Structures are given as C-alpha cells and as structure tokens.
Structure 1
Amino acid sequence: MLYIVIPVFNRKEYTRECLLSLRAQTNQSFRTIVVDDGSTDGTDQMLAEEFPEVIVVKGDGNLFWTAGVNLGIRRALELGATRVMTLNNDVVTDPRFVEQMLLDAERNPNAVLGALELDAATGEPIYGGETLNFRTNMRRDLLEVLPPEKRTGLHEVTYLPGRGLLIPKAVIDKIGLFDEKRLPHYLADFDYTSVARRNGFPNYLNYNAILSTYPEESGQTLTRKHRSLKGYYQHLFGIRGGGNMVNFTHFALKNCPAPYLPYFLLNGYARRVVGYFLH
C-alpha cells in the first residue's frame, strides 16, 4: 500500500488544491497523511471539514521539512505501508500521476522514483532531473540535453527532490529515514536519494508522472526577491537558506568520494557565497 506524506505549515489554499488533485487521481490505491506542523491559518479545521479521508499527524511547530516527513513516514509504516511518497503541499498532481508512478514502481520495485515538474502558470517543464559529476561539481540538466521526443519513460539521475518522491519500503529498511539531525530542511531529499543510490537503489526521473509546481513560492526564490544583508545571512546559514553552508558541508561529507572532496567543497562554498547575487 502506498502512503503519501505531505508536511504542511499554513498556506492552506495550496494544501487544499494539492489534496483535491489527489482526490481526482485515476488510481486511488493510496492513503494520504498530512503532517500539520502547528499551522495557524485554519488548516486543521479545513482538513477536518473538507478532507475526512486524510490522516492528520500533528507537529509542535518546530519540525521543518525533514522531521515532518519522518514523522509522517513513521505513521505510514505503523499502518502497513509498502511504499511511501513524500509530496509538498504546493504542487498539483496530474490525474494520472499516481497511476504512472505505481505502474513504474511495479516494473522497478527497488527504484526510487521522482516526477517531471511543470510550471503551474505556464505549463512549461521546469525540472526533469539532473546528474552530478562530483569530480567537477558540474550538473547536467536532463531538460537541456533531452529533445522533447525523448522526454518519456525513466531516466537515471544522481538524486531526486522530495516533492513527488516514491520510496520503496526496502529502501527505508536498509538506510532508515531522512537525516533530520544534520539536514533539517534543504538537501535532505538529495542526500537521502544519493545514499539510497549508493546502497544499490537506483534513482529515476519518471517523465510519465507529472506535477505542476509554483517555483516563485519556493523559499530560495522568496529570499532572493528582496536582497539584503539579513537575507544574505539567511541564504548562507538559515535553516531555510538555499545556500546553507552547513547543510552543503554535511551533504558533501556524506556523498562526495574522498578524492574529489576538497575541490567539491571549495567550489561549492564559492558558488554559495556569490550565488545569492547572481540569480
């Protein structure tokens, strides 16, 4: 049984739209768990009144993404989950999203699967996976190298984001849950899927499974909209900072091959120091 885990904090309109899209899925062989981490905007009431089928797990307001996801996964495992999917609340699932993910999960039972992402405003593809060369710290964006006719089926990648991430129970049994201690928010998903890959579970971007997302609402984008010294500090050291130096260090130490680590770290630090002002 598939359990979909959605961590939320406020933004109930996004949560409502996401849950309505799940309710419209062509394949309903799943249950949904929402981890409400202390929302103050009426999310709890909305869930109770409009989505009685959803399992709600309460947080204390201090979970952030990683601990919230882990709390939901633990509940899913208690209920007998054989597969878990992490999903952000600011996404809308295509009606055949679950159908396509489960179809390819059956064909590739040991694989970790991610989804093609479209911009909800334009319908244009904005994320189709990437590969990372640890030796050079260079990323290869699949959307830039795959012609439109090849954007179908499964494509192997180095890691996957947590929005629409399908994880077989075998992966959890072998490597455990997300690293909430060292990576409380950003990079926990890339780290987890990288660790899974190194433990024999391939990562595939499933171009047949589609999500619509709101890139302008990401924490990184919002931080850069109004650049300031405070925003720069948050970018480099805040829990929600997209360029968090500590998080990057933990990711590198865990996943980069030792011979490439010095350059990977130095290059990564330099990119984060200047990247706030370049995007």
Structure 2
Amino acid sequence: MEHPKKVIIVVVNWDAKNVLEECLHSYKKIDYSNYDVIVVDNGSKDGSQQMVKTLFPEFTVIELGKNYGVAEGQNVGIRHALEMGFDYLFISNNDVMCNENMLKELLHCMESDPSIGIASPLVYYYDAPEIIQLGGAMIDWDHATTSLLYNGQKDTEFPACLDIDYHGFLLISHNTIIRTGLYDPEYFAYWEDVDFCVRVKKLGLRIVCLKNAKVWHKVSFTTRRITGFFEYYMTRNRMYFMKKYSTDARFFKFYFYLFSYDIGHTVYVHLVKHKSAKLLFCYFKGFLNGLILCARSVKYQPFKG
C-alpha cells in the first residue's frame, strides 16, 4: 500500500489568538493521516505563541520578532517546510475553518491531473455558512482589479472543478514550489497571492477551485483592524503588480485609467461618501509609494533557482 503523501499546512498569524485557536482546532480534525501544521507568528503581543504551544503541542510554532507581513511570513513557513520535507504544501489564513475532508479532496485532484498546479477550496462566509465568499477570482488586466467568482451566491450552481486565475488558499506540490519560487515580500500584504498564482500559470499549469473542499472564512479579520491598511497596500501593490507583469502598452493604459478615473472616483468615495480624510490620505500615500516602487522595479523574470 502506497504511503500517503506528506502535506504541511502553513498558517501566518499576527495578534489573533482567538481565531487562530479555532482555526487550529479545525485543522486538528482533518481526516488525513500524514500532515503537519506550521504556525508562523509575526511578533504577536496577545499570547498567540504560548496558546499554540499549550493547546497544540504537536504543531510547530516559528516566532518572529516583528511583523514581517503576510508574504514573508509565508516564506518563513515554506523555508521551514522545505527543511522538514513534504510532497504538498497548503497555504492558509489564520481566520478559517475547514471541513474534515478538505485535504483529501485537494490531494485527489492534484494527484489525478498533472496539468493542475494549484488546487484550492471553495470559501464560504463564516457568519453566513451557506453563502460563497470566494470561488476563486479572475484578474482584470486593464484596471488591475480582481473579481471574486460566485461571491454572495449559494453553491448549487458551482461546478465540481472551476478554472480560475488565483486563490489565496492553495495546495501546491513541492516540485511546483521549487519551480515557482517563494512569495514576493515586497507586497507585505495584498496581491502577493495574485503574484504567486500568476507565476504558477506562467509555468503552463492550471489553478482550480474545488466544490467539495470547503473552508469558512472570517473575512479580513486581521487587516481590517488597522485603519487605512487596506487602502494603502491595495493601491501600492496593484501598481507594483502591473509594473512586474503587464506589457508597456497595457501599463500605459493602466496609468491612463488611474489618472483619468480612479483618483477622482476614490476622492469621491472617501471624502464625499464616507467623509474620511484619513482613508483618502492612505490611498494617496499608497499611490505615491506605488509610483516610487514601480520606478525602481523591473519586469518579472522567470525563477531560475
């Protein structure tokens, strides 16, 4: 009988002890015999590290001295996983719960079709457990935005396996990690998952979302606690992403869109509709730093390491 494939789950955490505990209890109940969990803690001050050591001694905790961001936190976990050895890696948020057969469903998909580079679960809202939050997403390359597939719908019309552009929760093989490289730490948070998935697709591999692999997500539990965090990093990082991956013509078209529509629309939303000068300031700060980052960045080159 063939030995089951080794899976390592990487979970990045920052000051979210209570949701992390619920997440790890969920992973502890997974119906699969050969998996480990690595928790990378980004300098939490709420006792997250001790909680994991006390309640989940079978899991590995990597304690970082400060918050290195989502992308680099995931990289720390991946590097440690590479030292431990694995067949597949699952990248997870700390604010999710999964069904017991999630890994089995994802692994069966990956093992049965070599054209698939990433298999991802169907994501439901934690507070509305029958409503889809994310069935994968597609990239709008003209405006540097993404659209969440089947968002707000029930899963009755969702296919068994759906081809997508990207997903934040993903199962990926050791071989594909080696060929793709790690997450780009320049993003810190937001768009790092899009960037990573684009590189996987550039290898000629598919990314799919599976109906029978399910997670329930407390959306943006960590990042929404910081006013302006979303506005700053989403603005900065979408500009950086376009600089890395778009053609010169498409990049020019994107900049035209920014200056002709996006700035004015954002001013209206934050200043007139929401009456929040702070959010508008964070947007413009992200815009300025995005320009600086694009000026010193180069186009994407295939990973050679």
| Contact preservation (8 Å) 2:134, 2:151 | no
Residue by residue over 1:81-119, the C-alpha shift from the partner in whole angstroms, topping out at 9 and shown as x without a partner, is: 121111111011112211211111211344212221111
Gaps spanning 5+ residues in structure 1: where?
224-230
**Structure-1 residue corresponding to 2:149:** 142
Q: Once the two structures are aligned, what percentage of the paired residues are identical?
A: 23
TM-superposed deviation, 1:168: 1.4
**Structure-1 residue corresponding to 2:117:** 111
Cα distance change of structure 1 residues 92 and 200 upon mapping to structure 2, 3 Å threshold: same
Q: Rg: which structure is higher?
A: 2
**Structure-2 residue corresponding to 1:226:** none
Correspondence list, 1:35-54, <5 A: 35-54=40-59
| Contact preservation (8 Å) 1:111, 1:168 | yes
For 1:273 and 1:55, how far apart are their aligned partners in 2? 47
For 2:17 and 2:245, how far apart are their aligned partners in 1? 35
For 1:147 and 1:62, how far apart are their aligned partners in 2? 36
For 2:111 and 2:264, how far apart are their aligned partners in 1? 43
Asked if 1:205 corresponds to 2:209, the answer is: yes
Residue by residue over 1:207-254, the C-alpha shift from the partner in whole angstroms, topping out at 9 and shown as x without a partner, is: 2211101126252x445xxxxxxx45x4443xxx3x332x11211122
**Paired AA for residue 215 in structure 1:** V
Q: Name the TM-score, length of structure 1 as normaliser.
A: 0.84
Asked if 1:128 corresponds to 2:135, the answer is: yes
Correspondence list, 1:88-237, <5 A: 88-109=93-114, 110-123=116-129, 124-135=131-142, 139=146, 141-143=148-150, 148-161=155-168, 164-180=169-185, 182-215=186-219, 217=221, 219=223, 221-222=224-225, 231=227, 234-237=229-232
SS at match of 2:187: coil
Gaps spanning 5+ residues in structure 2: where?
1-5, 275-305
Asked if 1:67 corresponds to 2:57, the answer is: no
Q: CA RMSD in A?
A: 2.5
SS at match of 2:150: helix
Of stretches 4-13 and 134-143 in structure 1, the one that deviates more from structure 2 is: 134-143
SS at match of 1:143: coil
Asked if 1:14 corresponds to 2:19, the answer is: yes
TM-superposed deviation, 1:274: 3.7
**Paired AA for residue 126 in structure 1:** Q
For 2:26 and 2:263, how far apart are their aligned partners in 1? 36
For 2:145 and 2:68, how far apart are their aligned partners in 1? 32
**Structure-1 residue corresponding to 2:29:** 24
Cα distance change of structure 1 residues 144 and 217 upon mapping to structure 2, 3 Å threshold: closer
For 2:230 and 2:11, how far apart are their aligned partners in 1? 24
| Contact preservation (8 Å) 1:7, 1:68 | yes
| Contact preservation (8 Å) 1:91, 1:213 | yes
For 2:35 and 2:43, how far apart are their aligned partners in 1? 25
**Structure-1 residue corresponding to 2:246:** 256
For 2:80 and 2:8, how far apart are their aligned partners in 1? 9
| Contact preservation (8 Å) 2:119, 2:171 | yes
